[in-house]
Amino acid sequence: MDVNALKAEFPILHQNVNGHPLVYLDNAATSQKPRSVIEAVKRYYEWDNANVHRGVHTLGSRATDAYEGAREKVARFLNAASSREIIFNRGTTAGLNLVASGYARRVLKEGDEIVITPMEHHSNLIPWQQAAKATGATLKYIPLQPDGTISLADVEKTITPRTKLVSVAYVSNVLGTVNPIAKIAEIAHRNGAVIVVDGAQSTPHLKVDVRALDVDFYAFSGHKMCAPTGIGALYGKAELLERMEPTEYGGEMIDFVELYDSTWKEIPWKFEGGTPIIAGAVGLGAAIDFLESVGLDAIDRHEKRLVQYALDRLSSIEGITVYGPREERAGLVTFTLGDIHPHDIATVLDAEGIAIRAGHHCCQPLMRWLNVSATARASFYLYNTEQDVDRLADALIKAKEFFGYESA
């Protein structure tokens, strides 16, 4: 994998920020976009822009073909059984909320259990809190090990025959933990539960096979995997989607409308009311083409090498505490530096042209478990290099000096 050649495909990376060449290390929040994706969206607006599924004119047909073609690409990318199992939406948050509202609230009852973990992003926590409140179900948590992983023994103890739904992030956006989804799915199914997976941090970096994992629902966002913002998808097994009711009503998702009643289209269209995110879907399809041309396995190997290099560099700096497992982790490093606030660290790094994320990362319960108010996070992608990590480490040493850090 020629990282420098790949980096050349991303126009935004070739600029100076505050007088320094940009080092972009905020990929867990959003990735940058290659020229092929930018051009695909531009080409759609210049040549094919029309509404889908409605017009019989040429532009409408071309727009529909591009939109539904993107759905086929997503289905192949995830190895879904059919494109009917792919619902386009705004992203992971929308997908998880659709399952919580369209499925969980309709099947859960008092005494049922929802099982999640303390490492979940708020998007995979709050919908289940609300579903539990609305139905009388109980929300339960698989405990974390000291290194931020979960043990299968604890999974076995927490999931019971009363558990009806399990929802887990494939990859933690703070700890970098890669959860054993296939094994959790097996335990959930053995107890009669369905499993929902937050794939926001896994889909851009790992080869995902929803059938091999045997997950029931899988949500992800396009903007973290080189696609435009505002587009994502929910995978769901067809038999479950058939049982679900839509949560948004209007044009496009209907079959027949009478004065006092209506019927819905087949899946997936019954969940896509209104004009869909057509240009976003076109961009997502182009992003999939780009990632497949590089190879997800190659991206995974590159990031694993890079994160181990980063762990070694940052751990050698006195005062830095790195969170999450040392081995078998995704390509991000979350850390604190003594008592310097992470926002101050991020400000100093920005002055050096280095973009990282600081805050609670939409994981406030996890921050409390870590006994911190906030952390700094450097997250990597296919265009990052060891030189980027060196720039990060050097800037952190400058931050120590700037704030007058003293060893204990």
Which residues belong to the active site? Answer: 362
For 300, residues 6+ apart whose C-beta sits below 8 A from its C-beta are 205, 206, 207
CA 232 to chain CA centroid, nearest Å: 9
Q: How far apart are CA 57 and CA 382, in angstroms?
A: 40
With 0-12 CB in 10 A as exposed, 13-18 as middle and 19+ as buried, what is 15? exposed
Check residue 48 and report its DSSP letter: I
For 39-73, b where at least 16 C-beta lie within 10 A, e where not — what string? ebbeebeeebebbbbeeeeeebebbbebbeebbeb
- Tokens 């948050």 -> residue: 93
Give pairs for 368-372: CB < 8 Å, separation 24+.
Answer: 369/118, 369/144, 370/323, 372/336
Q: Which residues of 178-209 are buried (b: 16+ CB within 10 A; e: fewer)?
A: bbbbeebbbbbbebebbbbbbbbbbbbbbbbe
Q: Identify the residue whose tokens are 């049922």.
A: 112
* H/E stretch holding 220: strand 217-221
What residues pair up with 376 in beta bridges, in sequence order? 335, 358
Amino acid code (one letter) for 17: V
375 pairs with which residues across the strands?
Answer: 359
Contact 31, 226 (CB under 8 A): yes
Query: Is residue 268 reached through a cis peptide bond, with omega within 30 degrees of 0 on the bond before it?
Result: yes
